Amino acid sequence: MPTPPHGTPDRGLKPFILAIHREALDTAATKGLTGTLAQVAALQDTASLASARAGRPVTEEEVMRLLLRERRARNIHEAAGTAPVTPIRKPAAAPSRFHLGRWRSVAMGMARSASAGPAGKARL
């Protein structure tokens, strides 16, 4: 069965690939591989075993896309279950005398221009 155009493996392979990848990560850790090297070895093993099961070549890219999609979906699902965290903000400082004076002059200018009719303009 050919690969769909977006590069994901067949639907029946998805649970198989996820399970085999977990086993491949455990095997890589048992062999003493760590970090990126362990991930690459697990990815290659997963693609190889999935190819045998599918009867067609399953690329490492397909496996990686599936794994990333599942990880993203899991993170979104976990984040949806938690309450949103509000950002911590600093207390607002009192406006300086300069800003108060500036706001006052702008407000006074707008009051004057409003009384001048449509010909008056507010300048900031």
pLDDT tens digits, one per residue of 8-63: 556 778 899 999 999 999 999 999 999 999 999 999 999 999 998 888 899 999 99
Provide DSSP, 53-107. Answer: HHTS---HHHHHHHHHHHHHHHHHHHHHHSPPPPPP-PPPPPPPHHHHHHHHHHH
The total number of structural domains that make up the chain? 2
Residue 61 included in any domain: yes
Cβ(43)–Cβ(59) below 8 Å: no
Residues 36 and 71 in one domain: yes
Residue 2 included in any domain: no
Distance of CA 11 to the CA centre of its chain: 24
Residues 73 and 19 in one domain: yes
**pLDDT(123) > 70:** no
C-alpha 29/C-alpha 75 separation (Å) is 24
pLDDT tens digits, one per residue of 48-106: 999 988 888 999 999 999 999 999 998 888 887 776 666 677 667 777 777 788 888 88
**Domain region containing 19:** 13-81
Helix (H) or strand (E) holding 12: none
Residue 1 included in any domain: no
